[in-house]
Amino acid sequence: MNRFIFFALVSVCVSGSYGFLFTKGTTTPEPTRPTGETTQKRTTTPSPKPGPGDAKLWALLVAGSNYYYNYRHQADVCHAYQILHSHGIPDERIVVMMYDDIANNTQNPTKGEIINHPDGEDVYHGVVKDYVGKDVTPKNFLNILTGKKDALKGIGSGKVIESGPNDHVFVNFVDHGATGIVAFPVGELTVKQLNDAIKEMHEKNTYDKLVFYIEACESGSMFRNVLPTDINVFATTASDYDESSYACYYDNKRKTYLGDWYSVNWMEDSDIENLQEETLEKQFEITKNKTTTSHVKEYGDLTLGNLVVGEFQGNKDGPTPKKPLPKVPYSRGAPSYEVPLDILYKRLAAATSAEERDGLTQEIDEMIEKRGILETTVKKLVARVALSHDHENRLILSRPQQINDLECHHNLVKAFSEHCFDFGKNTYALKYAYILANMCDAGLNVDEVISHMRQVCKPVNGIELIV
């Protein structure tokens, strides 16, 4: 099949439902957005602004990926740091986790610099990098968020969120995701782990208000009908429970995407707005309206939307509000799962020599072949555990609207990542993680499913960088 035709077909499939694993020649209509998430109704009475010293602001900024094709994730987080720092949150209360393999990467033509917009300035300068490389892990993230300083001794800067009962905490996570999962360079964080940590913080009274902004595919599944509405937590996500988030701003010079639509939309808004007047709800609405490639969602206690953005992104007047950056000719961008392949096709189209074209063609063929191995392995696993042919089809084709058994889901995710394909290293595998939630909903025995995983995945365990 002509490679350009193949890529077009893949893009069409990914931008709709992901339940096309073993079907061809059909497309799925745009999914209807179900209503009824468990959320707190918002009141219209604005919350009073805190007085000086009423609350300390803390922030945890995480880029959970590595490799140059994921340039955009670290660009997003560096930009977020610049916003918070310029609005008065001191570095000792900002914790940054990023692999830090982009700014000085051999593929980066502007060494020591990272940009988040084609006409944007360097956002890498001055960023405090508390945890880099192998220290960017789910375990460290949870210990930082829950303030376990002793657990971080000898690791990175050792900084944690040491917030108290009057403090506000802002968490911005940017990376790949799937049903009930956000990924790290190695391993993943499950919906159970994240929400257990939030509940622990609430029980220990380590915050007054807590806000999450999460950029990841299917990120709505991290909160949908799981996050309580009465513990002063407000979350917004780049996408609903069943759809990809999208990369944006492909840069021909750097040969990669510079940002993600949800992230650049909220940050470019923060760059130009008065954060002491704009509310979280207004920023959410602006971001939702500008992000046309996915459905930006909100969860938890929606009354927190009446608070001003500055109570989480910095309550001091920042520099003179910037003028809006020049508009970039609209391009839909790429679904996050397809970015590595999309970049290779763009580089192939721009190649100027036969040698370069041959090299890129080989890379594309190898990536497609590895993806085929992954899909065949998943198909074999489903066939092993399914109770019938119809059950097999349901496991593959249905999309769970929520995760009903967090414990089962957590155990199957960790087992698949260990015995089959590490979700952190093989982010394309995340596209099929919803099947694990379906297995839990079907009431399949967890131990038996894991036993089948060990057998089916033994030939492929250890394959890396399917991407």
The pLDDT tens digits for 285-324 are: 999 999 999 999 999 999 999 999 999 999 887 666 666 7
- CATH pick for 338-457 out of 1.10.132.130, 1.10.530.10, 3.20.80.10, 1.10.10.60: 1.10.132.130
Contact (CB, 8 A) for 13 and 337: no
- Assign 465 a pLDDT band (cuts: 50, 70, 90): low
331-349 per-position pLDDT tens digit: 778 999 999 999 999 999 9
Q: Are strands 256-260 and 233-237 parallel, antiparallel or unpaired?
A: unpaired
How far from the centroid of its chain's Cα atoms is residue 203's Cα? Answer: 26
Is the pLDDT confidence value at 46 over 60? no
Segment 382-388 shows an average pLDDT of 96
Phi first, then psi, for residue 385 (nearest 5°) are -95, -20
Neighbours of 182 (CB within 10 A): 30
Contact (CB, 8 A) for 453 and 413: no
Say what percent of the chain tops pLDDT 70: 86
- Assign 178 a pLDDT band (cuts: 50, 70, 90): very high
Question: Which listed residue (217, 248, 408, 457) is catalytic?
Answer: 217
234-285 per-position pLDDT tens digit: 999 999 999 999 999 999 999 999 999 999 999 999 999 999 999 999 999 9
213 CB-near residues (< 8 Å, 6+ apart): 170, 171, 172, 173, 235, 236, 263, 266
Is the pLDDT confidence value at 8 over 70? no
- The pLDDT assigned to 410 comes to 98
Contact (CB, 8 A) for 180 and 153: no
Q: Is 176 a catalytic residue?
A: yes
- Assign 37 a pLDDT band (cuts: 50, 70, 90): low
- The pLDDT assigned to 375 comes to 95
Question: Which listed residue (73, 87, 176, 419) is catalytic?
Answer: 176
Q: Between 22 and 15, name the one with better pLDDT.
A: 22
81 CB-near residues (< 8 Å, 6+ apart): 61, 94, 96, 123, 127, 128
Q: How far apart are CA 138 and CA 141, in angstroms?
A: 5
- The pLDDT assigned to 149 comes to 97
365 CB-near residues (< 8 Å, 6+ apart): none
- The pLDDT assigned to 168 comes to 98
Q: How far apart are CA 288 and CA 282, in angstroms?
A: 10
CATH 1.10.132.130 spans which residues of the chain? 338-457
Q: How far apart are CA 62 and CA 263, in angstroms?
A: 13
For helices 138-145 and 191-203, what crossing angle results, to 10°?
Answer: 20
- In 3D, which of 260, 288, 316 has the Cα closest to residue 85? 316
Side-chain-side CA neighbours of 141 within 13 Å: the count stands at 29
Segment 90-101 shows an average pLDDT of 98
Is the pLDDT confidence value at 195 over 50? yes
Angle at 331 between CA 327 and CA 333, to 5 degrees: 120
Weakest mean pLDDT among 44-58, 81-95, 363-377, 412-426:
44-58
Is the pLDDT confidence value at 446 over 90? yes
- The pLDDT assigned to 288 comes to 98
- Which residue carries 């001191």 as its tokens? 90
Q: What architecture is the 39-313 domain classified under in CATH?
A: 3-Layer(aba) Sandwich (3.40)
- The pLDDT assigned to 464 comes to 67
- The pLDDT assigned to 41 comes to 53
- In 3D, which of 148, 140, 131, 135 has the Cα closest to residue 201? 148
454 CB-near residues (< 8 Å, 6+ apart): 419
Q: Which two tokens stand for residue 1?
A: 């099949």
Is the pLDDT confidence value at 207 over 80? yes
CATH 3.40.50.1460 spans which residues of the chain? 39-313
Longest dimension (CA), the chain: 65
- The pLDDT assigned to 327 comes to 75
209-226 per-position pLDDT tens digit: 999 999 999 999 999 999
Is the pLDDT confidence value at 83 over 50? yes
Is the pLDDT confidence value at 162 over 70? yes
Is the pLDDT confidence value at 27 over 70? no
Contact (CB, 8 A) for 202 and 244: no
Q: Which two tokens stand for residue 423?
A: 């979700």
- The pLDDT assigned to 315 comes to 87
Q: Which two tokens stand for residue 73?
A: 């994730």
Contact (CB, 8 A) for 127 and 96: yes
Q: Which amino acid is at 198?
A: I
Torsion of CA 275, 279, 280, 286, to 10 degrees: -90
Say what percent of the chain tops pLDDT 90: 80
- The pLDDT assigned to 326 comes to 74
Weakest mean pLDDT among 56-60, 90-94, 183-187:
183-187
393-419 per-position pLDDT tens digit: 999 999 999 999 999 999 999 999 999
